[in-house]
Amino acid sequence: MKEPLTQLHTEAMTTEREWTVEEIPVLTAAVSLPEPVPAADRTSRRIRRYYQLQCRSFLRYCETYLLPLAAEEYQAALAASQPLPRLRAELTYQVTYNEGGLWSLYTQSREQGPGGQVSLLRRGDTWDLASGYPAALSSLFPRRSGWKRRLLETVEAEVRQREAAGVSRYHEGVRRLLRRHFNPQSFYLTAEGLVVFYPMYAIAPAMEGIPTFLVPWEAIRGEYGE
């Protein structure tokens, strides 16, 4: 019987695609996602298929939604005798944790649209290598710990501290927004602890990017277990 995986070795799976209008490049998409090497077991193969599908879905999104926008911008610039735009979309990843049978990362898309406006979208994935399936956020906390309420309280306290120090800005009514936009799938692990994040624009202006909040392992094992 094979020993369960405790770590996962991956390499970058990369691809790039270009779309043209009248033989002029108007949109470029670049993708870099993890690929288990070697994919010799069921879990590794499942993870490989998952990110292959994510790659195809992203390229399909670019062709379906971004290409018409790029073509429209191209025609408008041509008619106005302005510099021809070239939109770019990227999908990248960052492995943040890889030990104890848990493999965690985030993938992030970046779209640069007309006028240089940038849009970011992040997704967190934490895989239980023993089962071969994603780990739920609730599985990181003791049972009946009221983890969601206490987690939001931790995030709210961090928001207040950052605002008081003048290092971050948030929308008015941020406490309500934190609860409204909380997504239990928007997390990943690091050596320091659990990181939860919110979508761009959801709780803060664009200058804040994607707001992230760290909950140290000590708090999860201690305070959340009380």
Per-residue pLDDT in tens (0 to 9) along the chain, 226 residues: 466 678 999 999 999 999 999 999 999 999 999 999 988 899 999 999 999 999 999 999 999 999 999 999 999 999 999 998 899 999 999 999 999 999 999 999 999 877 778 999 999 999 999 999 999 999 998 887 789 999 999 999 999 999 999 999 999 999 999 999 999 999 999 999 999 999 999 999 999 999 999 999 988 876 655 5
Three-state SS string across the chain, please? CCCCCCCCCEEEEEEEEEEEECCEEEEEEEEEEEEECCCCCHHHHHHHHHHHHHHHHHHHHHHHHHHHHHHHHHHHHHHCCCCCCCEEEEEEEEEEEEECCEEEEEEEEEEECHHHCEEEEEEEEEEECCCCEECCHHHHCCCCCCHHHHHHHHHHHHHHHHHHHCCCCCCCCHHHHHHHCCCCCCEEECCCEEEEECCCCCCCCHHHCCCEEEEEHHHHHCHHHC
What is the pTM (predicted TM-score) of this model?
0.91
Q: Write down all domains in the chain, each with its CATH number in brackets.
A: 10-134 (3.30.565.40), 137-225 (3.90.640.20)
